[in-house]
């Protein structure tokens, strides 16, 4: 798996504004994008992307669930404010995913999710790390694709049962 590097890290939190205050005032990051995701169950996720003010390093993505239930709010209820996933940028996502599947890694969707800006896919939570890993191939300069984020978030619904059973990776 050559050419892989960390693209971003993502957190799910109970209060987006408090998390943004921490990253902007304490960590010296700046907000580069803000948007809402509307889910089919009438819940939402408020999302923000951040980058260090000097433009160096990886991006940070933060989401907060809005409305009763919903995939983001339910995840935060179970895990608290916490790291959700680490995203790894690659040059050839289809090759990377095929290689990972050969090694027993399972994914939350059958196929990669494609948009004009990027292609991405989530692994199921890895028993070795306890978190989801994202594989991402960027095609443009936009930070995130709202449609892909919606589909990725939805694909994580109900994963906690699988993670506890250790089914993210076939042995």
CA nearest to 76, candidates 123, 129, 11: 11
Residue pair 107/126 in contact by the 8 Å Cβ criterion: no
- Can you tell me whether residue 68 is helix, strand or coil? coil
Per-residue pLDDT for the chain (171 aa), expressed as one digit of tens each?
457 899 999 999 999 999 999 999 999 999 999 999 998 888 999 999 999 999 898 999 999 999 888 889 999 999 999 999 999 999 999 999 999 999 999 999 999 988 888 899 999 998 888 889 999 998 876 566 666 666 777 677 766 544 443 444 454
Residue ranges and CATH numbers for the domains of the chain are: 5-163 (3.10.180.10)
Q: Do the strands 132-138 and 82-89 form a parallel or antiparallel pair, or are they unpaired? A: parallel
């Amino acid at each position: 798996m050559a050419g892989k590097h960390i693209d971003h890290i993502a957190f799910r939190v109970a209060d987006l504004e408090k998390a943004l205050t921490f990253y902007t005032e304490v960590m010296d990051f700046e907000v580069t994008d803000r948007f809402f995701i509307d889910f089919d169950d009438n819940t939402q996720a408020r999302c923000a992307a951040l980058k260090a003010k000097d433009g160096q390093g990886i991006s940070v993505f933060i989401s907060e669930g809005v409305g009763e239930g919903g995939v983001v709010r339910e995840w935060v209820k179970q895990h608290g404010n916490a790291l959700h996933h680490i995203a790894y940028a690659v040059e050839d996502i289809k090759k990377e995913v095929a290689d990972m599947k050969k090694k027993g890694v399972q994914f939350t969707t059958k196929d990669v999710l494609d948009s004009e800006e990027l292609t991405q896919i989530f692994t199921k939570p890895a028993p070795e790390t306890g978190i989801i890993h994202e594989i991402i191939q960027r095609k443009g300069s936009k930070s995130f694709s709202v449609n892909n984020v919606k589909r990725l978030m939805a694909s994580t619904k109900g994963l906690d049962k699988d993670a506890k059973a250790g089914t993210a990776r076939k042995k």
